Structure 1
Amino acid sequence: MGAKTALLVFADRHPADLLRRAPALSPEATARLVVRTNPGWNGATAERRSLRHALYPPEGTVHAGSFPEVDVLCDQQVMVDRPSALPDHLLEAGAHRGRTILHAMHSVVDWFAYAVWEDGTLVRALSVSPGDGVIEDIGAPLDFEPPYWAGEHPVEPVPGWPGAGEPYPLRFHPLDLGEAALRALLGFVVEGLPLPTDIDAGSVELAGFRVPVTDPLTQEEIDEFRRTRALQRFTYGPDGTLVPVED
C-alpha cells in the first residue's frame, strides 16, 4: 500500500453529497480558508490539482477548496498523532460548518488516524499503528469500524516479508481501516476498486498554495531519532525472499 492522506474537511452535510457533482470552488473563500489555517501565507500559489492527487501535498504546499456547504484542506499540519489535539486554529477555520472530519494516514509506518467533530464537539477520535498500537481512542466507534475490531479483516502474512511468521500487532491493517473510513466519511477511496456509489475525487479541483513550513524538525530531534532507531536493510535471497543485510 502507498496510501497517504492529510485531509481536513468542514461540511454542513455529508461531503460526498456536496462534492459529487464536482462544484467549482470559490477563489475568495478558498483564500480565506488558507489564511485562517496558514496565517503566514504570503499570497504565493501553486498548481491546481484534483482532490484524488492532492491528498498528501509536500511540505510547504497546501491544496484547498471552498465550495457551497463544504471546505476541503489538504495540509500536512493536520497529521497529528492524537487527533483530539488538533491545533485550535485549524478547528476554528471550520467553526461555521456543522461537521469537521480529519483523515490522516501514512503508508510508510502503516499509521491511520481520524476524528469527527459535530458542532465543535469531538465525538470520535482514533489513532492506530502497528508500532505504537492504539495511540488514541475517544468516543464510540462509528458504523464502519466494528468488523475490523471483531477481526473480520485480519492481516494475512506475506511470505518472505520480515516478521511474516509473527502475528500482526493489530486485528486489522490500519490502512485498510483508513480506506473504509475514507469511503464512509468522504465517499471515495485511495486504493482498491471504486464502487458505483463513490464520488469521482479526480473531478474535484483544488487550488494550490505555497505556505511556510510549520514546526520543522530541529537537528537535535533528527539526531535523537537516528540514535534511538536502528536501521535495518534487506535484500533478496536466492529463493526470492527478503533477508537482512549484515553490516
Structure 2
Amino acid sequence: MGSKVSILAFASEVPSVVLHADLVDQASASRELIESVLRERMEPVREVTLDEALWPLPGVACAGSFEGLELVTSLDLRQGKPSDMSSDVRRVGGDRNAFAVFMDSAIDWAAFAMWERGHLARSVSLSYEGGVVENEGVQLEFEQGFWALSTDVALGFHPLELGNEALRAFFGFVQEGRWDEHGIDPEEITLTEYRAQDAEDRQQFLREKSTRMIRLG
C-alpha cells in the first residue's frame, strides 16, 4: 500500500498529545463536523480504526469528535497547495489550531500544513518528479534536517520521508519509516465512517476510469 494519508485535525494542541486508545467518538458531533467540512449530507456506516480511515474510498469519509480534538479523513480534503484550505479551516475550526497531512505513494507526493488559531503557519507540498509545489511559512523542527540536503534544483530526500515525519510530529505515528515504540498505535483509535449519497457513483466512475487506463496501456 505504501504511504496513503488524507487527514485534517482541529485541536488546541498537537493531536499526538491528545490521541490515546480510550477516546470515544461523540457520534452526533462527528457527523456535524464531517458535514461541515465536506458541505454535504453524510450517513454513518460503521466504526473503523484510524489506521483503516487514513485513506477512505471516494464518497466515504471518517471523523472523530473527542474532547480537545476533532479528526476528519477524506480524499476530498487533498489540495496540491494546502494553503488553499485556509478559508475552510477558519470556517470550520474558528480560532483553533489545525494540522493536515497528505501522502500518496502512487504519485510520490506529500504535503502537510499547520494553522495557528486559524492562521496559516506552515504549508509544504512536494513530489518526487515535480519538486517543491509549495513552501510557505517557517520550517518546523522535524523538517530542518531534510531541507539541508536539498539544492535549488533538486530535493535531497524523498517526499514520502518528509510526509511520514510530519505524520509522526503531528499525530504520533508513521506509515513507513522508523517506528517509535512510544508512539501512538492508530489501530487503537476508533472513528466513525460516513458515506455520501453519491458514494457508489463516485466509486464506479473511478473503477471505469481505471479500466480505461489499463486498456490504453
Question: How many matched pairs?
Answer: 205
Aligned positions of 1:11-160 closer than 5 A: 11-41=11-41, 43-86=42-85, 88-95=87-94, 97=96, 99-151=97-149
- When the two chains are superposed, the root-mean-square deviation of aligned CA atoms in Å is 2.7
User: Which one-letter code corresponds to 2:190 in the other structure?
Assistant: E
2: distance between equivalents of 1:207 and 1:114? 23
User: Which one-letter code corresponds to 1:67 in the other structure?
Assistant: F
Task: Give the structure 2 partner of residue 179 of structure 1.
Answer: 164
Change (3 A) 1:198 1:17: same
Secondary structure of 2:160's counterpart equals: helix
Unaligned runs of 5+ in 2: none
Paired residues of 1:49 and 1:207 also in contact (CA < 8 A)? yes
Greater relative contact order (CA < 8 Å, ≥ 6 in sequence): 2
Q: Identity percentage over the alignment?
A: 32
Q: CA deviation at 1:151?
A: 2.0
1: distance between equivalents of 2:12 and 2:31? 20
- Name which of structure 1's ranges 118-127 and 84-93 shifts more when overlaid on structure 2: 84-93
Deviations 1:195-223 (A, max 9, x none): 12201211110001002569x7xx9xxx9
2: distance between equivalents of 1:198 and 1:108? 26
Q: CA deviation at 1:29?
A: 1.0
2: distance between equivalents of 1:232 and 1:181? 37
Secondary structure of 2:51's counterpart equals: helix
1: distance between equivalents of 2:162 and 2:93? 25
Paired residues of 2:54 and 2:73 also in contact (CA < 8 A)? yes
User: Which one-letter code corresponds to 1:131 in the other structure?
Assistant: E
Task: Give the structure 2 partner of residue 243 of structure 1.
Answer: none
Q: CA deviation at 1:32?
A: 1.1
User: Which one-letter code corresponds to 2:167 in the other structure?
Assistant: L
Paired residues of 1:104 and 1:112 also in contact (CA < 8 A)? yes
- Name which of structure 1's ranges 84-93 and 109-118 shifts more when overlaid on structure 2: 84-93
User: Which one-letter code corresponds to 2:82 in the other structure?
Assistant: P
2:194 to 209, 215, 220: 209
Task: Give the structure 2 partner of residue 10 of structure 1.
Answer: 10
- Name which of structure 1's ranges 83-92 and 138-147 shifts more when overlaid on structure 2: 83-92
Q: CA deviation at 1:192?
A: 3.3
TM-score of the aligned structures, taking structure 1 as reference length: 0.75
Paired residues of 2:89 and 2:98 also in contact (CA < 8 A)? no
